[in-house]
Amino acid sequence: MDAPLVSGPHAHGAVSVSRTMVLVMLALLPATLFGVYLYGWPALNLLLITVLSALVAEGTSLRLAGKPVRPYLLDGSAALTGWLLAMTLPPWAPWWIGAAGSFFAIVVGKQVFGGLGQNLFNPAMVARVALLIAFPVEMTTFITPQPLFSSNAPGFLQGLAISLGSGVQIDMVSSASTLGHVKTELTRGISVHNALAPVYDLLTGFIGYMPGSMGETSALLILAGGIFLLFKRVITWHIPVSMIASLMLLATLFHGINPERYIGPLVHLLSGATLLGAFFIATDLVTSPVTAKGQLLFGAGCGALVFIIRSWAAYPEGMAFAVMLMNALTPLIDHYVRPRVYGRDRKGEPLVYEGKPEPPP
Q: Which residues bind other proteins (CB under 8 A)?
A: 1-2, 5-13, 15-17, 19-20, 71, 75, 77, 115-118, 236, 285-292, 295, 334, 338-344, 350-353, 356-361
CA–CA separation, 179 vs 316, rounded Å?
Answer: 5
Phi-psi region at 358: left, alpha or beta (left = phi > 0; alpha = psi -120 to 50)? beta
CB-nearer residue toward other proteins: 189 or 361? 361
Closest CA to 139 of 320, 303, 308, 312: 320
Of all helices (H) and strands (E), which one includes residue 175? Answer: strand 174-175
Tell the smallest beta-carbon distance from residue 310 to other proteins (Å).
Answer: 28
Q: Residue 131 CB, nearest distance to other proteins (Å)?
A: 25
Of the pair 67, 252, the CB lying nearest other proteins is at 67
Q: Of 308 and 337, which CB lies nearer to other proteins in the complex structure?
A: 337
H or E segment and range at residue 182: helix 178-187
Which residue lies nearer to other proteins by CB, 96 or 113? 113
Would you report the helix, strand and coil content of the chain in percent, each value rounded to 5? 60, 0, 40
Measure CA of the first residue to CA of the last residue in the chain; give whole Å: 50
d(CA 309, CA 315): 7
Closest CB to other proteins among 13 and 189?
13
The sign of the CA dihedral 196, 201, 207, 210 is negative
As measured in angstroms, the least distance from the Cβ of 8 to other proteins is 5
C-beta of 102: minimal distance to other proteins in Å? 20
Q: Judged by CB, which is closer to other proteins: 217, or 288?
A: 288
CB of 72 to other proteins, least distance (A): 8
Q: Work out how close the CB of 68 gets to other proteins at its nearest, in angstroms, rounded to a whole number.
A: 9
CA-CA distances (angstroms) from residue 110 to 61, 185, 301, 327?
A: 10, 38, 23, 13
